[in-house]
């Protein structure tokens, strides 16, 4: 149920997720292998008899641009970035990652459908195609789409060759000045052929909600649309262990729709702490014949947004501890990979995060499935542009014709995921000014409500003064503020909803393991090496430091949480070096492009992870040439007090206090004089007794390599990936934090070398080549399984270093 008034919003919501299977009555064919690809104009490539024998063989998901090379001339934009407050146009070289995504690309493959007859229906579904796809089947054009982040499908029944090979050809066109970040290129998400009976469930029509929940029982409401007459629906609810909990059937088909209500006793409620998933098994019958089947996992839980309590999940008030994520996966580019997404979620969960905002794109199905399973709330975003452009060739070209259907497809395809707690219809859109923008905001919000009356809608608003004056912010279900912490109080007073969301916060910049002196707060600070200091005191002209958001989250009950920009670095937008070269990826991440934690990771962990202790020292302690110079030491910790020691000598106790936001959330010894040796911190409990300790040491020369995989067993499916962290230690085993050795990688056995990444935003080394320099003493190697089970060996070597090997298993 949803109630919306000018005074407040109160929503009570339960959600579910879709789980695709191959059933007796339908078949889902995911077209992964045996694709041919070529970049360039090939006007006849859609024809069945076209000779593609010279084309590159690829598997899908595929991103053609991630293989480089990096080139500053690619999509060089001369522009003033309005949302950054720029007034004068300047040359932006790495804004879209400096990778060759611009141009036309063609994909071709063949598939067959056995036993096809007149009773069958065939759908062709795309989960993401970058961009402006044109679809051809057996030499005929099926249709086209425009938005590269959209999910879409076509009924291709009339194009199928029965029991013969079907030739699928896809043309993609990426134009310059169409993005503000690296968008990727190609069929970067899955392509599915869905074969079912004509009497069947309509695509993306099933919606599972729970209008009523108590400790004793939950009402599970299932609505679905079907094609056919005189049909019967059977529904079963299964526990996570597969036990049948409830059964209902209905022949009450009204306007091609079924509605069933089932009771679940003593329901397990879904939450980030307990991501329990039920399964709904839906069987559709025509007489005694099973004509279609769906199995959908779903979660039971309640969601409320009210001025009295803010945001609550299952009746308990909480605040979003969220991060924003772009869709690229670092060295894999935009090509979706479940192993990479799972690793991201593990890292974020350990940090204590409980929410993700897909910024600024529609999320992958794989990401949502993992968030359901692992327990991560989700803010699903749709657009970065509406009618008014940010970039010349952006979504503004398609808004009038495609916006409604893009929203409809987003909601219908994903509304059953329990992880999704909110929709976003836009981010920092220029339409925030003027009455036309208010009308567009309401129009989009109404579409979301029509398709899903159970979740609220937000927009990431950065023009806070404008949306206060125009009424734009007042009509949103949830007013989302991007930065502008100095306007929170005024916005709260002016907006009628009774709460605010930090829809995008911080934009603090740093480079992993890089520290600059003197240590001071600075906006848009730049250096000759194109890095940013990991003392976490540097930010952007429009943004602020993390501690400023912490104060609002802790002190203002009407602030319902935050989504930090960003959880991981991403390709493109290398602020504050977007006018410099080489610089081709962001510095915003709490983790770097390789997924390695920066110091800031532990600052957030010290607040967000309330289960495990955090005790982290920075900077590193290798400062040859700085002997006797002031080298401040920060400690990020879940404890309130700690004592610092340098070579056994106490440098005093620091306690968190309210002197400044930094003093409130960090322990800082600002007058430490560097001398090589051992730096140790001892955390103190509330009684002043030692509770935990951590030390770092000055390292000698790099001596040998250490390999640390995130997993040791892979699935032999040709897609699973192990992420192996490579680091260097001296002869005593002390990590070498400044090492930059060039390393080489070799994978043998039942695996393949996939990529490497060191997290350096200025590196122009190609990810897919088996060599790379260390950055701040570390990098990550990606090892991919093949479809052959067996042992996999990774060997890493470097000049003047003792090499290292590791064995993995593929099963």
Rounded Cα distance between 246 and 236, Å, is 6
Q: Give the whole-angstrom CA distance, residue 505 versus residue 120.
A: 50
Q: Catalytic: 268?
A: no
442: part of which helix (H) or strand (E)?
helix 435-451
Our answer to whether residue 675 is catalytic in this structure is no
Single out the residue of 687, 688, 673, 696 nearest to residue 621, CA to CA: 696
User: Hey, CA dihedral for 788, 791, 792, 793, is it positive or negative?
Assistant: negative
Question: What angle, rounded to 10 degrees, do the helices at 435-451 and 399-414 form?
Answer: 30
d(CA 180, CA 174): 13
Whether 498 and 7 have beta carbons less than 8 Å apart is answered as: yes
Alpha-carbon span 631 to 384, nearest angstrom:
42
- Reported as type and span, the H/E element at residue 493 is helix 488-494
Distance (Å) of CA 361 to CA 169, 175, 456, 677: 25, 18, 18, 48
d(CA 332, CA 353): 24
> In whole angstroms, how large is the CA radius of gyration of the chain?
27
Cα angle 593-596-597, degrees, rounded to a multiple of 5: 115
290's tokens? 């099973």
Q: Give the H/E segment covering residue 616.
A: strand 615-618
Question: Is the torsion defined by CA of 798, 775, 519, 347 positive or negative?
Answer: negative
Contacts of 439 (CB under 8 A, 6+ apart): none
Q: Is the peptide bond before 360 cis (omega within 30 degrees of 0)?
A: yes
| H-type alpha helices, 221-313 | none
Active-site annotation holder among 366, 451, 504, 562:
504
- Edge-to-edge strands, sheet with 244-250: 15-16, 289-299, 278-286, 231-238, 244-250
Q: Which residue has the tokens 């009950």?
A: 557
Q: Give Cα 9 to chain centroid, integer Å.
A: 27
Select which of 132, 428, 451, 573 is catalytic.
Answer: 428
Cβ neighbours of 206 (radius 10 Å): 22
Strand segments (E) across 661-703: 667-669, 678-684, 690-697
Cite the active site residues. Answer: 428, 504
């Amino acid at each position: 149920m949803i109630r919306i008034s000018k005074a407040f919003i109160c929503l009570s919501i339960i959600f579910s997720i879709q789980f695709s299977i191959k059933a007796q009555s339908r078949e889902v064919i995911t077209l992964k292998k045996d694709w041919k690809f070529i970049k360039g104009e090939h006007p006849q490539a859609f024809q069945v008899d076209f000779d593609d024998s010279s084309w590159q063989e690829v598997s899908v998901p595929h991103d053609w641009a991630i293989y480089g090379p990096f080139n500053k001339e690619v999509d060089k934009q001369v522009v003033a970035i309005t949302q950054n407050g720029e007034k004068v146009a300047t040359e932006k070289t790495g804004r879209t990652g400096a990778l060759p995504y611009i141009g036309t690309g063609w994909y071709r493959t063949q598939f067959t459908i056995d036993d096809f007859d007149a009773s069958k229906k065939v759908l062709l579904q795309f989960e993401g195609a970058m961009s402006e796809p044109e679809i051809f089947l057996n030499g005929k054009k099926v249709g086209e789409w425009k938005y590269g982040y959209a999910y879409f499908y076509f009924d291709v029944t009339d194009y199928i060759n029965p029991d013969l090979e079907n030739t699928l050809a896809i043309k993609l066109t990426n134009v310059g000045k169409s993005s503000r970040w690296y968008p990727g290129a190609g069929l970067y998400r899955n392509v599915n052929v869905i074969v079912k009976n004509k009497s069947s469930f309509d695509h993306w029509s099933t919606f599972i909600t729970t209008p009523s929940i108590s400790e004793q029982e939950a009402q599970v409401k299932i609505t679905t649309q079907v094609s056919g007459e005189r049909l019967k629906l059977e529904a079963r609810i299964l526990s996570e262990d597969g036990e049948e909990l409830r059964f209902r059937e209905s022949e009450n088909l009204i306007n091609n729709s079924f509605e069933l209500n089932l009771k679940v006793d003593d329901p397990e409620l879904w939450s980030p702490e307990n991501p329990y998933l039920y399964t709904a098994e839906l069987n559709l019958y025509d007489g005694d014949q099973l004509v279609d089947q769906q199995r959908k996992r779903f979660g039971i839980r309640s969601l409320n947004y009210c001025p009295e309590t803010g945001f609550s999940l299952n009746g308990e008030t909480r605040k979003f501890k969220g991060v924003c994520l772009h869709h690229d996966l670092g060295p894999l580019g935009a090509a979706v990979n479940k192993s990479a997404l799972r690793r991201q979620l593990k890292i974020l969960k350990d940090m204590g995060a409980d929410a993700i905002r897909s910024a600024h794109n529609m999320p992958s199905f794989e990401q949502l499935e993992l968030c359901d399973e692992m327990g991560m709330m989700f803010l699903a975003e749709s657009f970065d542009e509406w009618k008014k452009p940010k970039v010349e060739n952006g979504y503004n070209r398609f808004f009038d014709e495609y916006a409604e259907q893009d929203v409809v497809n987003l909601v219908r395809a994903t509304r059953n995921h329990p992880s999704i707690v909110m929709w976003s219809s836009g981010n920092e859109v220029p339409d925030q000014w003027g009455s036309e923008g208010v009308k567009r905001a309401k129009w989009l919000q109404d579409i979301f409500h029509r398709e899903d009356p159970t979740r609220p809608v937000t927009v990431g608003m950065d023009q806070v003064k404008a949306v206060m004056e125009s009424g734009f912010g007042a009509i949103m279900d949830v007013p989302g503020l991007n930065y502008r912490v100095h306007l929170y109080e005024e916005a709260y007073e002016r907006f009628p909803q009774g709460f605010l969301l930090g829809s995008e916060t911080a934009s603090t910049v740093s480079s992993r393991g890089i520290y600059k002196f003197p240590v001071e707060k600075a906006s848009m600070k730049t250096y000759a090496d194109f890095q940013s200091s990991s003392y976490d005191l540097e930010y952007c002209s429009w943004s602020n430091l993390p501690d400023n958001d912490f104060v609002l989250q802790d002190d203002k009950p009407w602030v319902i949480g935050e989504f930090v920009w960003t959880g991981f670095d991403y390709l493109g937008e290398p602020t504050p070096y977007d006018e410099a070269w080489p610089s081709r990826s962001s510095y915003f991440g709490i983790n770097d492009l390789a997924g390695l934690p920066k110091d800031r990771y532990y600052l957030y962990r010290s607040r967000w992870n309330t289960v495990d202790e955090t005790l982290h020292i920075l900077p590193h302690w290798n400062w040859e040439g700085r002997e006797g110079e002031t080298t401040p030491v920060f400690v990020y910790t879940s404890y309130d007090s700690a004592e610092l020691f340098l070579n056994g000598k106490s440098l005093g106790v620091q306690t968190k206090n309210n002197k400044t936001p930094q003093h409130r959330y960090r322990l800082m010894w600002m007058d430490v004089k560097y001398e090589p040796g051992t730096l140790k911190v001892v955390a103190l409990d509330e009684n002043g007794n030692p509770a935990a300790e951590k030390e770092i040491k000055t390292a000698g020369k790099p001596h040998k390599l250490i390999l640390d995989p995130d997993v040791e067993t892979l699935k032999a499916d040709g897609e699973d990936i192990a992420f192996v962290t490579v680091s260097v230690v001296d002869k005593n085993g002390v990590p070498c934090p400044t090492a930059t050795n060039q390393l080489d990688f070799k994978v043998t056995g039942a695996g393949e070398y996939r990529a490497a990444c060191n997290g350096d935003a200025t590196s122009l080394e190609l990810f897919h080549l088996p060599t790379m320099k260390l950055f701040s003493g570390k990098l990550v190697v990606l090892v991919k399984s093949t479809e052959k089970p067996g042992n996999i060996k990774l060997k890493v070597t470097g000049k003047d270093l003792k090499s290292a090997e590791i064995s993995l298993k593929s099963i």
